[in-house]
Copies of this chain bind each other. A is one copy, B any other.
């Protein structure tokens, strides 16, 4: 009944990759975490190819049941947003080619799911991810921690959705999480 989720925090310069195994009771275990970086001095097609090949290799090696990707917004009007969107397209299609379902989660959803606060900062997210996965050292850089948080978020939200896990009862942790999410939505 272990649910294997791959999380990707897309980016052209740094793309966070993570694979986590999650039990129905939310117990979560790190399988792999890393970052694929591309040189801003290379051409866009070379950079996207590096990301595409890294994600292909991770999907083939770890065979996740689902890919969770951060949803990108044009409201984030920064210079890197188009590259991030292009990278996310490449990542999503790698999963789609393999018939692996893709789920998108917003940064607010991720922060709320792992910390109980949709406005949490990167330090708080990294701290909670380290605790949830019982890691001895915090995952670095922040993109790697974000990819882990995405994977955890997807599994936890799925478990809490009515009908997503037929017959599953709501655990105390799920109830706390659902309340945290409701608080985040009210903000």
Contact = CB atoms under 8 A, between A and B. Distances in A.
A72 B82 contact: yes
Task: Tell which of A77, A92, A95 has the most Cβ of chain B within 10 Å.
Answer: A92
B73 A82 contact: yes
Interface stretch (A46-54, A122-130, A132-140): A46-54
A44 B93 CA distance: 9
Q: Could you say which interface size class chain A belongs to?
A: 20 to 34
A135 B79 CA distance: 40
Task: Tell which of A77, A87, A93, A102 has the most Cβ of chain B within 10 Å.
Answer: A93
B86 A92 contact: yes
Main secondary structure of the interface of A (DSSP, over half): helix
Contacts of A48: 89, 92-93, 96
A52 B73 CA distance: 22
Interface string A29-48: 00000000000000111101
12 contacts: A45-B93, A45-B96, A46-B96, A73-B82, A74-B74, A74-B77, A74-B78, A74-B79, A82-B85, A85-B89, A86-B88, A93-B93
Given A48-B93, A88-B89, 18 more contacts: A44-B92, A44-B102, A45-B92, A45-B96, A45-B101, A45-B102, A48-B89, A48-B96, A49-B96, A73-B82, A74-B77, A74-B79, A74-B82, A81-B85, A85-B89, A86-B88, A90-B90, A90-B93
User: Which 10 pairs, one residue from A and one from B, show the smallest C-beta to C-beta distance?
Assistant: A86-B89, A85-B85, A89-B89, A49-B96, A45-B102, A45-B96, A48-B93, A89-B90, A52-B93, A82-B85
Interface of A: 43-46, 48-49, 52, 72-74, 77-79, 81-82, 85-90, 92-93, 95-97, 101-102, 104
